[in-house]
Structure formats: C-alpha cells, structure tokens
Amino acid sequence: MLDIKWIREHADEVQQAADDKRINLRVSELVELDDERKRLILQTDRLREARNAASRTIGKLMQEGNADAANAVREENAAMLAELDSLQPKLAAVEQQWSQLMLLVPNVVSPATPRGASDADNVQVRQAGEPPAFDFEPKSHVQLGELHGLIDLARGVKTAGTRQYYLRGAGVLLHRAVQQLALDVLLEKGFTPLEVPLAVREETMVNTGFFPLGADQTYRIADEDRLLVGTSEVPLISYFSGEVVDVSEPIRLAAASLCFRSEVGSAGRDVHGLYRVHQFAKVEQVVLCEADPSVSERILHEITAHAEHILSLLELPYRVMAVCTGDMSQKTYQQFDIETWMPSRDAYGETHSSSNVHDFQARRSNIRYRGADGKLHYCHTLNNTAVASPRILIPLLENHQQADGSIRIPAALQPYMGGMKRLAPPVAIDDASTAETRE
C-alpha cells in the first residue's frame, strides 16, 4: 500500500504503474473519492463537535433545572442531528469504496525495471554455465522419473486430481535434500529459520499484498476465515505485523514449507510433469530492513546471489532475468527471476524469484522501526525463493542424466543422500525398485 498523500503527488507515476501491471484502476477516480472522503470527514467532524457542545449545554441547563431552555436547544439542533445521521452512512460508503480502491493501487517500479507486456520482454542480466550437449537422446524428467521409480503422476491424478503427483524412493530423498541444502546455505548467511503456519487469516493475505488481486490463486478452507498460503513469505512477513522492530541490522528470516496454489488461468500452460503443480515445497528467504532504497537494493542482490549459489552447488546452468513491468505483481518494486536450463523444454524455465517490495507490505502490515531521527518509519521488505521443489527436480534430473540412463548426483547433495553418487539405471530384470549405488 502507498501513502495517499504520496499517491496524489505522484498520480501520473502511479497510473503508469497500474497500466503497466494491467491493474484496472483510475488514479483520478481515487483522488476524487479522497476529496469527497475528506469533505465528508470534515463535515461530520464539525457536526459531531456541534452535537457534543449542544449536549454539554443541555446537560448544564438540566442541572440548573432549566428544562425549557434545554428543550429549546434540542429543537435548535434537531436539523443538525438529522444532517449528521444522514452524513454518517454516506461517509461509511465512501470510505469503503476508498479502501477498495486503495487496495488496488500498485507499487511503483524501479527506474531499472525494463518496460514490457509479459515475460517475453524480460531482459537477461547474466548467464552462468552452459546447457549440456548430450551425445544421446536425452529423456525428460517424467521419463527419468518413471524409469527410476521416482515420480508417479498417474496415481497422483487418481488420488487428488490434475497437477498432483507422488514422489517415491530417491525422488523423495532428492526433494528433501535440495531443501535442506538451501536451508543450510541460508543458515550460514545468518538467516533465522522459522516453522510457519500454512493456513492464515484473509487479513494476513491482504496485509502482505497477495489479496485482493491474487485471491483466485488461493485455496480457501470451507466455512473458515483461513486460506492456504502459496508461499511462506506470507507468514514470515506477518510474524512482525503491528510491531515496531529493530532493523539496525537487517532481519533475515527463512522457512521451509509446503505451498499451495490453485493456478487458475494457467490451463494448458506448463502442465507437463512437475513444472506447474498445486502442491509444492519452498525454502523462502525474507528480509526486513530500514527504508533506505540503497540498502534494500543491496539486499536484493544479496538474496539473489544466495539462490545463484545454491544453483551452482547443484551444478545447473541458469540465467538471471530482470523482470519487466508487465510481468510484475502489484506489490513489487523491482524483481529478478532466475531461470534454469531444462533440456526437455529446450529452454530455460523459471525456478527462483527475488523481489524488493520497498515499504508496500510494511504499510499494510504496520511494521515499523524507529529511525535515527527518532521517528517511526515503515520497513522495506524483500523476498526470494532459495529453492522450490519438485520444480527444481526437472533440471536436476534432466541435466545430470547419463547415456546409460543413470543420473549423477551433484557433490553438494551427496551428504544429504547418504553418500549416494548416482542413481543407477534399473536392473533389466522385472524388478520395480530403483537400483541405487554408492560409489
């Protein structure tokens, strides 16, 4: 959320952000509504003051035993009271409309953000590693998963519907190994781990900037004011909601959690295998810092570098993309996506995202700190996907496959896999289990 005074002073910039982010908002309408709201507040405040003064006068007259004079004051103020009664519901209606429009106001974007309409307009910042050049016909992660008994999509659909899956055996171990590796990297970087609630109040989704515009992506628990989160960013930010915090050093939080997204509107898009599923796990990093753009920009690069380090440990080729205006969410000021090479797609696919939100979430969540000037200021907040699985299993399996059907396990993951160095191809007998070797 932005400050209404700031919105009025930067109306053109805010309107541009709304247009670029394809948010149906007319800032001029909000400003006009704010004018009306202020006018009604002024009127009702004056009428309330007059009513209270009349009440005091009537009380005094009654104490003095002058009932006739008290009744005269009542009659004189009857019209004023009627006007107040009529204005109060008007003010309530205008304030409700004003609040709804304020929740649609987007964050403005960084001057460094490229202009564009969709992810096709994102701009590559850098690339690390080269896609593998196979001298054999590579298999997709689905084929590899079935070959090794790591993934069972058919039974996932049978049990839970579309975009559901089972991981089996070493598939589960890899799924958990990449999460623990990511968490260990963040612990080394000074992050505090939290186990977070996954079902939160609607107010929490609003305060973190995921509602109202992201409501269709969220699973709601029937007959309860609770929703399943699509990222632990929501409970991590909300941990400090309504509080005054100490950000003399940035507050660094991390969580490994399940996440749930309905993926409404993505029918027919990236539905093959594990790329876009309804339930997944993420290790998320969240940082709260002082409201200094230079500080939060530095931290944005830091948390992006953490994700890049994890990908380097996984020995995967990737590229960092500056996300354009049309591919950004309402709350984001600046964003980098990391895309990892996926041979079955013959393309890079998004696996990580880093965002600087400035004080947008902190204003909604009322998270403040006391600055050197002694005044309270809203924090800047940032977030990054350290790793998301099972999507990361796509490049992990596909890039490390060998000609004999085996899958090499990166050295950094081996300690989390009991020393296992590769997943050997299944024995050519009718043995349904995966042959795993430690070499």
Q: Give the active site residues.
A: 261, 276, 350, 353, 391
Rounded-to-integer distance, Cα 7 and Cα 1, Å: 10
Question: Are the C-beta atoms of residues 289 and 379 closer than 8 Å to each other?
Answer: yes
Question: Encoding tokens for residue 294?
Answer: 């230079």
Rounded-to-integer distance, Cα 363 and Cα 349, Å: 33
Write the DSSP symbol of residue 401: B
Question: Encoding tokens for residue 303?
Answer: 């948390």
State which H helix or E strand residue 6 sits in: helix 4-9
Q: Which residues contact 144 (CB under 8 A, 6 or more apart)?
A: 150, 397, 398, 401, 405, 407
For 403-415, what is the HEC assignment? Answer: CCCCEECCCCCHH
Tokens 């004023």 — which residue?
A: 80
Q: Which residues contact 375 (CB under 8 A, 6 or more apart)?
A: none
Rounded-to-integer distance, Cα 151 and Cα 387, Å: 19
Ramachandran bin of 209, using left for φ above 0, alpha for ψ from -120 to 50, beta for the remaining angles: left
